[in-house]
Amino acid sequence: MNGKQVDKEGITFETRIPVFNNPLLWRQLLIVSLLSSGFVLVLLLGLNLFEDNWEQIPKSFLVWVVLAGGMFSAFTVILMLLFRGVVTRYTISEKGVVQATLTPYRKFAKKLPFLALLFGGKQGMTAAGAGMLAQSREVIFAPWKDISLVELYPSRMEIRLKNQWRTVIQIICLPENYREIAELAQKSVSIKPEKGPDSAFLQVVFTFLTLLLGIALFPRLPIHVPGAFVIPMMVFAFPAIWSTTKFRKISAAIILITLLAGVFLAFYFGEVDFSGEGALYAASIEFLSFAFFSALALRGIFLGKTAEKE
């Protein structure tokens, strides 16, 4: 192990991805724990809002934190006991980077479908989680054309290859080849592509938040915006997110106008009531929804590039 081979196919070597001294792994583990338990939070908050149990909102967040902490602790125990470093082979060439997991725990990983579901199965997950990805991601290939950023961490002999929004591959180098691989990576992505439209991932996230925060406005909240205003906001949010034509800016403008009109009329007709128990908690979620739709509209109006020539 820890051998290095240079041939026409590029640089090939084997190393062990650390667990303890791996900030990327722990950050990913925390994010996965928070997002996985987040579905419970969404369900609890939905019940709180639609059943007018606003005073229970803080307890719902507490349940979420406890559940996320429990999942993080469970994953940590599994990492400590079973995945104490993942043996990995890297091949770095002019075409890209190939990472192959050689860990002996692949057979055991087959008995962990839950972890495999959470950590694997989608292109672009990093080598930091390779121990638990052994079954679902034994080999990963990242062509240079898909990489837009190289991050170097000399103290850990670590190189992170990123696209516009995530780490694609984490390379743990050997002391004798770190500089060579770093130079090759920087040279291969030295010409960065111009920033284009939102990536599909961001569009999916915005769509999910549109549905989530839009539905949150339907119950009667402290600032009551009727569904006649909420529905158009949600409908026009989709072209504001996905369209690449001038209709994107038009849709964004409609969202902003509808939101402002709905809030103005709520105050004008006295549809504002903060007297209920827990009203401030419910209003906080409502303000979050208002902020999201406002930001989405402003982004579409001022930052949204279209495919049509002006």
pLDDT per residue as tens digits for the range 246-262:
899 999 999 999 999 99
> pTM, whole model, 2 decimals?
0.72
Indicate whether 199 pLDDT > 50.
Answer: yes
Residues 159/126, Cβ–Cβ less than 8 Å:
no
Query: From CA 221, how far away is CA 216, in angstroms rounded?
Result: 9
Burial 275-302 (b: 16+ CB within 10 A, else e): eeebbebbbebbeebbebbeebbebbbe
3-state SS assignment for residue 179: helix
pLDDT per residue as tens digits for the range 107-150:
545 444 444 444 444 433 333 343 444 444 578 898 998 888 89
For residue 125, the model assigns a pLDDT of 39
Query: From CA 104, how far away is CA 191, in angstroms rounded?
Result: 39
For residue 198, the model assigns a pLDDT of 54
Query: From CA 56, how far away is CA 54, in angstroms rounded?
Result: 5
Q: Which of 91, 155, 94, 154 is nearest to 127 (CA)?
A: 91
Confidence of residue 309 (pLDDT cuts 50, 70, 90): very low
Q: Which is more confident, 238 or 26?
A: 238
Indicate whether 8 pLDDT > 80.
Answer: no
* Residue 278 backbone zone (phi > 0: left; psi -120 to 50: alpha; other: beta): left
Q: What is the mean pLDDT of residues 148-161?
A: 92
Query: From CA 237, how far away is CA 299, in angstroms rounded?
Result: 11
Burial class (CB in 10 A: 0-12, 13-18, 19+), 247: middle
pLDDT per residue as tens digits for the range 212-244:
999 999 999 999 999 999 999 999 999 999 988
Query: From CA 57, how far away is CA 51, in angstroms rounded?
Result: 11
Indicate whether 105 pLDDT > 60.
Answer: no
